[in-house]
Amino acid sequence: MKIFIDTGSLEEIEEAYSSGIMDGITTNPSLMKKAVEELKKSGQMLDMEDYIKRILKAARGTPVSLEVTSSDYEGMVKEGIVLFKKFNPVAGNVVIKVPCNTSIEGQNRHFDGLKAIKALSSEGIPVNCTLIFTPEQALLAAKAGAKMVSPFAGRIDDFIRLKNSMHFGKSDYFPVQGIEKDGKKLEDNGVTSGIDLVAQCAEIFRYYGINAEVLAASIRNTRQLRDASLAGADIATAPLEVIKAAMRHPKTVEGVKVFSADVVPEYAAMGNGK
Ligand code: G3P
């Protein structure tokens, strides 16, 4: 499974890529807002275009998703083309992120996302379809030509817990097999957890030999990262803290301490080239 970092922070991107194992970057307007606000707070001047270019270079040739901000078909296509033409020449790694459906109350834009995905894909622009909350949204987005589809695992878990008046913290683990309350399995439209959503998308794609990659997004903790890989996700995108936490275990710390204390000088000398 590929691992992407989910952030707009160049500093976090550089730290993650120093590991040598990163496969890509996802951003969204909220992550960009957070990064821009932090830069401004620290008194740094911001040239947005230059900042995006630095992110693209920091990705070392791996894909970087940049999200459109328009919500109508024409606007999303126009913006997607502008972003791609402006930024893809920098490192050849831009993916345009398009919401699967941009309809809000009273609007009938149910197909604007699909139409935009189709139009951008036909221009040879790779699209990551975002804000996927059902397997059928993923299927339709893939049919429209999306190269990646992003089910939001953590937000489905939030939604299920909120609908059932449960108290939880943002990074609390939600069991992949779901939760029972008052003898009833909690769910949303046949989806019992965010990772169940990822698994259902992966199963449909496998069944039909669909090439689009399932990108498990909104990953909040390391168990969810593991569950995403077990569910057959092609990619998981996670914040830096989750990626770092995935390397932690108290017994690893203890083991390092004990081994360090046990090193005899003769053995240490070998490693020092003496
Ligand atoms: O990858 C999507 C992500 O940025 C949303 O994450 O934790 O805000 O639901 P979250």
CATH number at residue 143: 3.20.20.70
Distances in Å between the Cα of 180 and the Cα atoms of 134, 152, 185 are 21, 21, 4
Per-residue pLDDT of the chain (274 residues; tens, 9 = 90+): 999 999 999 999 999 999 999 999 999 999 999 999 999 999 987 899 999 999 999 999 999 999 999 999 999 999 999 999 999 999 999 999 999 999 988 889 999 999 999 999 999 999 999 999 999 999 999 999 999 999 999 999 999 999 999 999 999 999 999 999 999 999 999 999 999 999 999 999 999 999 999 999 999 999 999 999 999 999 999 999 999 999 999 999 999 999 999 999 999 999 887 7
Considering only CA atoms, which residue is closest to atom 4 of ligand 1? 218
Distance between CA atoms of residues 242 and 224, nearest Å = 10
Query: pLDDT value at position 105?
Result: 83
Polymer length of the chain: 274
204 CA distance to ligand 1 centroid (A)?
23
Alpha helices in the chain (DSSP H): 10-17, 29-41, 48-58, 73-91, 112-122, 135-143, 153-163, 194-208, 222-230, 240-245, 250-262, 265-271
Q: Which residue in the block uniquely carries the two structure tokens 């960009």?
A: 32
In the numeric block, the tokens 């995935």 are attached to: 246
**Does residue 108 fall inside a structural domain?**
yes
Q: What pLDDT, on a 0 to 100 scale, did the predictor assign at position 273? A: 76
Query: Does residue 272 fall inside a structural domain?
Result: no
Structurally, the chain folds into a number of domains equal to 1
Torsion 10-248-3-189 (CA) sign: negative
Domain-embedded: residue 40: yes
Burial class (CB in 10 A: 0-12, 13-18, 19+), 25: buried
pTM attached to this predicted model? 0.96
* Sign of the dihedral defined by the CA atoms of residues 143, 8, 24, 65, in that order: positive
Evaluate whether residue 239 is within a structural domain.
Answer: yes
Q: Which of 152, 197, 215 to mutate to test the pocket of ligand 1 (most atoms within 8 A of CB)?
A: 152
d(CA 211, CA 178): 28
User: Alpha-carbon dihedral of residues 9, 14, 20, 23, nearest 10 degrees?
Assistant: 30
Is position 60 within any domain? yes
Q: What is the pLDDT of residue 169?
A: 96
33 is catalytic: no
Candidate from 6, 32, 130, 243 with most ligand 1 atoms within 8 A of CB, to mutate: 6
Asked, for residue 240, whether it belongs to a domain, the answer is yes
Ligand 1-lining residues (CB < 6 angstroms): 6, 26, 28, 31, 152, 154-155, 217-218, 220, 237
- Is there a domain that residue 233 lies in? yes
Q: Residue 9 and residue 240: Cα distance in Å, rounded? A: 10
> Residue 83 has what pLDDT?
98
Q: Which domain holds residue 6?
A: 2-248
Residue 139 CB coordination number (10 Å): 19
Six-digit token string for 202:
């992966």
Which tokens in the block code for residue 79?
């913006």
Please identify which of the residues 2, 41, 97, 184 carries the catalytic annotation.
97
Rounded to the nearest angstrom, the distance between the alpha carbon of 152 and the centre of ligand 1 is: 7
Q: Tell me the two tokens of residue 47.
A: 């040239």
Q: Which pLDDT does position 45 carry in this prediction?
A: 79
Q: Is residue 195 part of a domain?
A: yes
